A and B are shown apart, each in its own frame.
Chain A
């Protein structure tokens, strides 16, 4: 009896997997028409970080729809195939292999996280696959990889830009840095800001905190005693909001500066963020018609305000398509060569790539005024 049920169970599993494998072959077989150019997107579409992957996917899909509405690439339509990586390297490698072998993509707009992009990188170098990551900020992503590019600027570039803005536009001579020691993003920005700022001015404090810290009054008291002109806080909104709240409560007279992690701070912390500055990929109040058209189109298509990741996903897709157009073929090497020559206006600024494949572009400096973004300046990190 037991053996019988065991057998039934086994057969059920085998049938199930073969059926699933079967339908999966059927779909890929049907898609294999030459009049569609496929681009892959990899990112966390489920789990804790799904909002990041979904934003990139939505931005990329919006771009593809706009391109297709204008006739695609010389009449050939674009298709975006997005696979979930759960933010995990193993899943990302499987997704990448599948995009390459089963779907036959021409280029990859991904991965979304640095970790998954690095996991794909070594295999992709062997393939020569054109890769344009919209959002992987880790320095190593594009190193020694001629076919890997990115649309976002790297962490050090951002930190250095914030330092230059503080000195040149705000006339700051002393600065304090308060950062999260457990987060590579936060630390990367903090180090870059410190190094750049100390060329022109003095760093009075360089203080760290850990992920679970909630009370910053003691460290803020130490900073207050030094009375710096600016306070650099490179972290995400949830933490920055708490810090700014305590800065305001203690009545410290200092201008706070942040990075792109501050994107969306006006939603929950408008009152405490009032008057402070942060650098970002793009400013949603930028009068540039390209930016305004993108925001209007995104809101109409997805019923929400685009964040910086969506803008980068949108830009990366456009840049990739332009490269395929310029190459005149879907050959990997030709597309990579065309990508390297990119020189275009995009939502997140004017983009050219340096020898590593990192973008050379201006950074938007935004001030929070009356609970809204005001574009103050565009600065370069060099």
Chain B
């Protein structure tokens, strides 16, 4: 068992490293222009947002419609921290300033997650969806009316700190943490709440505690995603974080498969590239984009990956045996 795990981790680390090296080589020889690199950075940001929402919606089973609200808290928190640190010469730039600010932004978002989660998660059903929807709108209106956030005019003067390398590694870190979390004791407790809340409570899982924990972690990482966004664009405007942004993130999660992190990663890549690839179709692109989503949901309502995770080690093993072994058959063989 541990040998398999070790092998699997090794494969994944090699895969992540080779993707990173490949990107660096392609940038160095000029194949990837800055246009493509900026799309790659948006992909990293969307992966962080989608995988974190997947924790709340896919694994915990709570429909959240205000993820853009947490993203906004993280973005503004992180941007204001960076502006403050830089103007007081505490940290002037580089990776240190980026990490400190996005973590502060993430913590703000996480605290908001707890504040919203504690009352809301005691309820069952669609109440959380309504409350988070309200929260997302409230955050936007509050930011619109505060002086230190720049109000409706937007916040300028944010240091531009994000490049493809740090965005890639932060994304890889977030996905790894979420993956190990969902496979840990806490993660299994979270999944058991999704499967059957009453049964989970009956076996002694403190459902409210785990729900709030899962929700707060999701909010924290949404804040990290927002922070990266702030330090990449270097300008924030409250209308960026409207309800449609929450829906976009939710669409990524649903399309990838609720309860599959690899599915979220995959669909974040596809759905970030798609609107850009369709740019040549001008005004029809949103029509095509929406049409593709409808077709997808008709033929595969559970999303691309459903609740299964794509495993590199598993895929390699299958390739080696050159056949797909169904689990039942495998049990027989093992006997």
Residues of A within 8 A of B (CB): 3, 5-6, 9-10, 13, 16-17, 20-21, 23-24, 27, 45-46, 83-84, 87-91, 93-95, 97-98, 100-102, 114-115, 118-119, 121-122, 138-140, 182-184
B242 to chain A, nearest CB (A): 9
The answer to whether residues A17 and B274 also contact, given A24-B280, A183-B152 and a CB cut-off of 8 A, is yes
Determine if A10 and B304 form an interchain contact, defined as CB atoms under 8 angstroms apart.
yes
Q: Which residues of A contact B233 (CB under 8 A)?
A: 89-90, 93, 119, 122
> What CA separation (Å) do A20 and B277 show in the bound complex?
6
Could you tell me if B283 and A84 are in contact, using CB atoms closer than 8 angstroms?
yes
Residue B168 at the A interface, CB < 8 A? no
Check if B270 is an interface residue, CB within 8 A of chain A. Answer: yes
| Contacting residues, chain B, for A89 (C-beta < 8 A) | 233, 235, 237, 240
Of the 9-residue stretches B33-41, B127-135, B172-180, which lies at the interface with chain A?
Answer: B33-41
- Determine whether B63 belongs to the interface, using a CB cutoff of 8 Å to chain A: no
Residues 264-320 (chain B) with a chain A CB within 8 angstroms = 270, 273-280, 282-283, 285-286, 292, 296, 299-300, 304-305
Contact B235 A118 (CB under 8 A): yes
Interface residues on B, range: 35 or more
Task: Please provide the chain B residues from 130 to 161 with a CB less than 8 Å away from any CB of chain A in the complex.
Answer: 144-145, 151-154, 156, 160
A182 and B240 in contact, given A3-B324, A10-B304, A100-B35 (Cβ under 8 angstroms):
no
Measured CB to CB, the closest approach of chain B to A18, in angstroms, equals: 9
Q: Tell me the smallest distance from the CB of B329 to a CB of chain A, in Å.
A: 14
Nearest B residue (CB) for A116? B237
- Determine whether the beta carbon of B279 is less than 8 Å from that of A83: yes
Given A16-B292, A115-B240: 13 more A-B contacts, CB < 8 Å: A27-B280, A87-B239, A90-B240, A94-B42, A97-B38, A101-B33, A101-B34, A101-B36, A102-B35, A118-B237, A122-B235, A182-B152, A183-B152
Q: Provide a sorted-by-A list of 24 A–B residue pairs whose CB atoms are within 8 angstroms.
A: A3-B324, A6-B305, A20-B278, A24-B279, A45-B282, A46-B283, A46-B286, A89-B235, A90-B233, A93-B233, A94-B35, A94-B38, A94-B39, A94-B276, A97-B34, A97-B38, A102-B33, A114-B154, A115-B240, A118-B237, A138-B153, A138-B154, A139-B153, A182-B145
Q: Name the B residues within 8 Å of A97 (CB-CB).
A: 33-35, 38-39
Task: Give residues of chain B (225-260) contacting chain A, Cβ–Cβ below 8 Å.
Answer: 229, 233-235, 237, 239-240
CB distance from A182 to the nearest CB of B (A): 7
Nearest CB on A from B287, distance (A): 9
Residues of B within 8 A of A90 (CB): 42, 229, 233, 240
Q: Which 3 residue pairs of A and B lie closest in terms of their CB atoms, listed nearest first?
A: A101-B33, A97-B35, A101-B35
User: Which B residue's beta carbon lies closest to that of A4?
Assistant: B324
Given contacts A23-B280, A46-B283, A89-B233, contact A122 B160 (CB under 8 A): yes
Q: From DSSP, what is the main secondary structure of chain B's interface residues?
A: helix
* Residues of chain A contacted by B292 (CB below 8 angstroms): 16
Task: Name the B residues within 8 Å of A183 (CB-CB).
Answer: 152
Contact of A115 among B160, B237, B280 (CB under 8 A): B237
Closest to A115 in B: B237
Kindly state the separation between the CA atoms of A179 and B151 in the bound complex, as whole angstroms. Answer: 16
Smallest CB gap from A13: residue in B: B270
Q: Choose from B38, B277, B278 the contact partner of A93 (Cβ within 8 Å).
A: B38
Give, as a whole number of angstroms, the nearest-CB distance from B163 to chain A: 12
* B245 → chain A closest CB, angstroms: 9
Cβ contacts under 8 Å, B235 to chain A: 89, 115, 118-119, 121-122
- Smallest Cβ distance from A48 to chain B, in angstroms? 11
Q: How far is the CA of A23 from the CA of B282 in the complex (A)?
A: 14
Task: State how many angstroms separate the Cβ of B238 from the closest Cβ of chain A.
Answer: 10
Name the residue of chain A whose CB is nearest to the CB of B229.
A90
A residues in contact with B324, CB < 8 Å: 3
